[in-house]
DNA sequence: TAGATTGTTAATCGATTAACAATC
DNA sequence: TAGATTGTTAATCGATTAACAATC
């Protein structure tokens, strides 16, 4: 679900260097390709075929080639893709050439874990600030960062040039936090609270809801159980799904 | 990305009570509707219009009605949907009428948080077992559960009738854990490790990768920055996206 | 009956896929 | 040249959306 509209280029016919249009589904897969490419680079391979990269990323090779073709032509027919070059290209498209600073609001159970998650640092992000509304949590040190009160958000956002806000508060607090983030100029939010956020146009919100993932699995589990109970027995079923597509 | 194929009904023409075919995109939204319905129920409303429910769930009403129409006709023209009835229906379709038991493998940073996450219990899931490969972690008590060694998985799976496995290990350990889960009969896996799992047909895997979510936001942030830098100025941009669709 | 709202239709859009010509 | 593999085409599929007839 996304409601992106990107009019190629407003005004001034001819003068505007149109941004490369990327389908949302492609954007969502680029990070997976990037991860796979890093893994391949570590094994020492300098090139990789679309087939090889597709396998490592869990997609089919036609989709991979189609996706990469949106970035331009960085492969060599008969040979494959230069691993280092492709990493560069994807990182550049995703805007990962600069390290992005993240403010994490809500240092409860989940917030704690996120604050300590090393997968962020290793992939281009820096948790630059931890905030919480609970005064008893302010001052606590987590992973070398001191928790500050959420009211300091405006100051923190400027000091740390925050690029992305992560909400890990309970659901009832999430909308207010989102409003505060928007008010200080944050235009990208990752929301772990199980609720819908309303934000102005131009602000991107992505949502991760752990219970929803389990419920989707529950559906398939339920259906598989029904199928095996059927006289026909086991029908052919499924394999893998990924999220965020 | 999903590769589901569900041949309506194998064999025995006419005799098989075909399962209601649900589009994957619809399945992925049902849990969100369910959450919204619970919220509405708490405010005391007994019915809700497609418009009202759609707003609460962050989708448009046409999509909501289309989705619900796949479940059958549980609305009343001119009136709306009976909240309690619709909750029942969706829970039944998702297989949530029975509480499902979850085994969580890997009690590091993230695993700890997941073990303590109350959003699971309140939405039909019970963390029934915690496992880890690290002997120094075995025996630790988290949230009233004692961590057991992952080698005990087979026994635990039977004892607790595990329905879903959650992998929260480092990436290099994830495939082996998946293999073990599959070996003891688990057919639904939620994977938090940043890697692709290979599993046999009939096993469903969903993946949550926190860094990937940030990278997708980074892309949009990057593009917004480029747009504002353009002579044309601010182009109309986007609003909200959800994940797992 | 008049007003409201569903369930469904049909058009549109975007994503996937297989196949293959281009080309290293 | 022969073999390999990309980049692109075109067909297919599934999801979204607006509009409205059905009906409470």
Do B83 and B105 reside in the same domain of the chain? Answer: no
Residue B193 included in any domain? yes
Identify the pLDDT of residue B20. Answer: 63
Cα–Cα distances (Å) from B30 to A223, B20, B73, B120, B204, in that order, read: 15, 14, 15, 16, 18
Identify the pLDDT of residue B226. Answer: 80
Do B113 and B187 reside in the same domain of the chain? Answer: yes
Do B143 and B203 reside in the same domain of the chain? Answer: yes
Contact list, A22 vs chain B (CB under 8 Å): 219
Do B86 and B187 reside in the same domain of the chain? Answer: no
Ramachandran region, residue A176 (left: φ > 0; alpha: ψ -120 to 50; beta: rest): alpha
Joined tokens for residue A99: 């390290």
Final residue in a domain of this structure, among A59, A77, A93: A93
Residue B107 included in any domain? yes
Number of domains in chain A: 2
| Residue numbers in chain B where pLDDT is lower than 70 | 1-20, 228-245
CA atoms within 13 A on the CB side of B118: 5
Mind telling me how many Å the CA of A68 is from chain B's nearest CA? 15
Q: Smallest Cα–Cα separation from A30: which of A4, A69, A1?
A: A69
Do B176 and B142 reside in the same domain of the chain? Answer: yes
Q: Smallest Cα–Cα separation from B33: which of B67, B70, B62?
A: B67
Do A164 and A137 reside in the same domain of the chain? Answer: yes
Q: Judge: A5–B245 Cβ closer than 8 Å, yes or no.
A: no
Out of B2, B95, B210, the one facing A218 most closely (by C-beta) is B95
Out of B1, B93, B219, the one facing A241 most closely (by C-beta) is B1
Which domain covers residue B179, as residue numbers?
100-210
Which secondary structure element, helix H or strand E, spans residue B47, and what is its range?
strand B47-48
Final residue in a domain of this structure, among A93, A108, A142: A93
Do B69 and B122 reside in the same domain of the chain? Answer: no
Q: Judge: A237–B19 Cβ closer than 8 Å, yes or no.
A: no
Final residue in a domain of this structure, among A74, A93, A112: A93
Q: Judge: B214–A125 Cβ closer than 8 Å, yes or no.
A: yes
Mind telling me how many Å the CA of B241 is from chain A's nearest CA? 4
Out of B22, B199, B238, the one facing A3 most closely (by C-beta) is B238
Residue B84 included in any domain? yes
**Of residues B245 and A150, which shows the higher confidence score?**
A150
Nucleotide nearest to B75 (CA to C1'): C6
Residue B221 included in any domain? no
Out of A56, A109, A211, the one facing B123 most closely (by C-beta) is A211
Q: What is the mean pLDDT of residues A28-50?
A: 98
B116-150: buried (b, 16+ CB within 10 Å) or exposed (e) per residue? bbebbeebbbebbbbbbbeeebbeeebeeeebbeb
Q: What Rg do the C-alpha atoms of chain B give, in angstroms?
A: 21
The three-state DSSP-derived secondary structure of chain A is CECCCCCCCCCCCCCCCCCCCCCHHHHHHHHHHHHHHHHHHHCCCCEECHHHHHHHHCCCHHHHHHHHHCCCCCEECCCEEEHHHHHHHHHHHHCCCCCEEEEEECCCHHHHHHHHCHHHHCCCEEEEEEEECCCCCCCCEECCEEEEEHHHHHHHHHHCCEEEEEECCCHHHHHHHHHHHHHCCCCEEEECCCCCCCCCCCCEEEECCHHHHHHHHHHHHHHHHHHHHCCCCCCCCCCEECCCC
Identify the pLDDT of residue B121. Answer: 87
How far apart are the C-alpha atoms of B107 and B139, rounded to whole Å?
12
pLDDT value at A34 more than 80: yes
Q: What is the mean pLDDT of residues A12-25?
A: 63
pLDDT value at A7 more than 50: no
Query: Quick one: pLDDT band at residue A8, thresholds 50, 70, 90?
Result: very low
Residue A7 included in any domain? no
Do B109 and B141 reside in the same domain of the chain? Answer: yes
| Minimum Cα–Cα distance from A239: chain B residue | B201
* A180-216 pLDDT per residue, tens: 999 999 999 999 999 999 999 999 999 999 999 999 9
CA of A143 to C1' of C3 (A): 60
Q: A90 CB contacts (<8 Å, ≥6 apart)?
A: A30, A33, A34, A37, A71
Contact list, B216 vs chain A (CB under 8 Å): 27-28, 31, 206, 244
Do B132 and B85 reside in the same domain of the chain? Answer: no
Count of Cβ atoms closer than 10 Å to residue B109 Cβ: 18
Domain holding B202: CATH number?
A: 3.40.50.720
How far apart are the C-alpha atoms of B227 and B243, rounded to whole Å?
25
Do B172 and B70 reside in the same domain of the chain? Answer: no
Mind telling me how many Å the CA of A152 is from chain B's nearest CA? 23
Do B74 and B170 reside in the same domain of the chain? Answer: no
Contact list, A192 vs chain B (CB under 8 Å): none
pLDDT value at A2 more than 60: no
Which secondary structure element, helix H or strand E, spans residue B146, and what is its range?
strand B145-149
Do B147 and B87 reside in the same domain of the chain? Answer: no
Identify the pLDDT of residue A217. Answer: 98
Q: Which nucleotides of C are covered by protein (CB under 7 A)?
A: 3-10, 14-19, 22-24
* A81-129 pLDDT per residue, tens: 999 999 999 999 999 999 999 999 999 999 999 999 888 888 989 999 9
Contact list, A11 vs chain B (CB under 8 Å): 231-232
Residue A48 included in any domain? yes
| Minimum Cα–Cα distance from A203: chain B residue | B239
Residue A245 included in any domain? no
pLDDT value at A14 more than 80: no
Which of A10, A189, A213, A229 is the best substitution to test chain B (most B C-beta atoms within 10 A)?
Answer: A213
Residue A44 included in any domain? yes
Domain holding A87: CATH number?
A: 1.10.10.10
């Amino acid at each position: 679900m996304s409601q992106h509209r990107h009019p190629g280029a407003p005004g001034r016919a001819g003068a505007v260097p149109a941004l490369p249009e990327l389908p949302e589904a492609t954007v969502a897969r680029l990070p997976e390709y990037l991860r796979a490419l890093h893994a391949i680079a570590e094994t020492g391979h300098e090139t990789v075929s679309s087939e090889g990269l597709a396998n490592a990323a869990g997609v089919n090779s036609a989709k991979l080639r189609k996706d990469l073709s949106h970035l331009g032509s960085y492969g060599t027919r008969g040979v494959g893709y230069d691993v280092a070059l492709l990493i560069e290209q994807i990182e550049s498209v995703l805007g990962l050439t600069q390290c992005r600073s993240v403010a994490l609001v809500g240092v409860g159970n989940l917030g704690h874990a996120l604050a300590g998650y090393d997968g962020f640092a290793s992939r281009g992000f820096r948790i630059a600030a931890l905030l919480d509304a609970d005064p008893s949590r302010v001052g606590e040190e987590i992973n070398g960062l001191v928790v500050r009160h959420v009211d300091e958000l405006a100051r923190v956002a400027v000091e740390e040039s925050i690029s992305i806000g992560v909400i890990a508060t309970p659901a009832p607090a999430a909308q207010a936090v989102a409003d505060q983030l928007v008010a200080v100029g944050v235009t990208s939010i990752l929301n772990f609270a199980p609720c819908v956020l309303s934000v102005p146009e131009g602000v991107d919100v992505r949502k991760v809801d752990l219970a929803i993932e389990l419920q989707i699995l529950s559906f398939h589990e339920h259906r598989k159980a029904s199928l095996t109970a059927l006289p026909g027995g086991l029908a052919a079923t499924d394999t893998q799904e990924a999220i965020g597509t």
